[in-house]
Amino acid sequence: MKRSFFSVVVLGLVLAFLYVPILLVVVYGFIPNGISMSFFDAQGHFIGFTAKWYGQIFSGHYAVKALMQSFWLSLTIAGLATFISCVIGTTAALSLHRWKDRLQTIHHALVYTPLVMPDILIGISLLMLFVAAKVECGFWTILTAHVTFCVSYVAMTVLARLQDFDDRLIEAAYDLGAGPWYTFFKVELPILMPGIVAGGLLAFTLSIDDVVITSFVNGAGTNTFPTYVSSMTKHSKNLPSVFALSTLMLLFTCALVGISKLLSRPQPSMKGK
């Protein structure tokens, strides 16, 4: 069917609305003047591009020391949250798949709820919990909060993988004399690994990009990269360094999302083979 001119224009406007701001972030990572935030001098002459902001990032320049500390903190929290979420989320998915009763329906709803709950509500509820428990906000509260919402994504991803799992493989392993642990690590886990990796990559991406929930549970000196950037965007002369590092994070995140999409593609069912 031939596309109308109107539909092409609408598509172009939608794509521009979504991706032009991202393109501007990439472009401004090469801006020569971090004070005026302009590619032109006082006389209106174009002064070109520069890669000095990337140089500051890779050289550990003092001007971006706090920015890089927040970046490494984000990577650390995202890595730990991903690992913990994969362990808990995989266990939850296996439980939901193996045991099916009315109580499991409630468990499934509890696992699914964080996916549809607004981030601001999760952040406020976790802050109230930490305050009631008299826990000082900092590294561990951020990690706990990230695990809280990442577990659901891992569990749902692994559970989707389990829908095509042939339970007769486990029965065959038992018939051949394999024990429960051997069967899990040698039969079940390798088949589930693509789903676990996909869920882990999704959890890592969500954790390293989170702003709303983190802003409620972080403490003094524990700003992650997104929260630190949001606090400096309007007054820092080193803003182009943020754009440069954001560009690198964008490339890294896109790579992770691409891998996640490839690994989470539906696999051909083994049933009947």
Which pLDDT tens digit goes with each residue over 79-99? 999 999 999 999 988 888 877
Per-residue pLDDT at 236 exceeds 70: no
CA within 13 Å, CB half, 144: 17
What is the rounded average pLDDT for all residues in the chain? 81
Dist CA 87 CA 115 (whole Å): 18
Residue owning tokens 């798949």: 97
Residue 270 has what pLDDT?
45
| Domain with residues 22-263, CATH architecture | Orthogonal Bundle (1.10)
Q: How confident is the model at residue 105 (pLDDT cuts 50, 70, 90)?
A: confident
Check: CB of residue 78 under 8 Å from CB of residue 139. Answer: no
Dist CA 183 CA 176 (whole Å): 10
Residue 222 has what pLDDT?
83
Residue 86 has what pLDDT?
93
Give the number of other CB atoms < 10 A from CB of residue 224. Answer: 28
Per-residue pLDDT at 34 exceeds 70: no
Dist CA 78 CA 205 (whole Å): 8
Residue 85 has what pLDDT?
93
Per-residue pLDDT, averaged over 37-56, amounts to 77
- Out of 11-20, 100-109, 123-132, 183-192, pick the least confident: 100-109
Residue 272 has what pLDDT?
45
Per-residue pLDDT, averaged over 184-199, amounts to 83
Does 167 or 181 have the greater pLDDT score? 181
Per-residue pLDDT at 1 exceeds 60: no
Q: Which residues contact 83 (CB under 8 A, 6 or more apart)?
A: 200
Q: Which residues contact 210 (CB under 8 A, 6 or more apart)?
A: 119, 146, 149, 224, 226
Q: Residue ranges of the domains in the chain?
A: 22-263
CA-CA distances (angstroms) from residue 205 to 46, 211, 252? 37, 12, 9
Q: Kindly report the pTM of this predicted structure.
A: 0.76
Dist CA 96 CA 112 (whole Å): 12
Residue 84 has what pLDDT?
95
Per-residue pLDDT at 186 exceeds 70: yes
Q: How confident is the model at residue 235 (pLDDT cuts 50, 70, 90)?
A: low
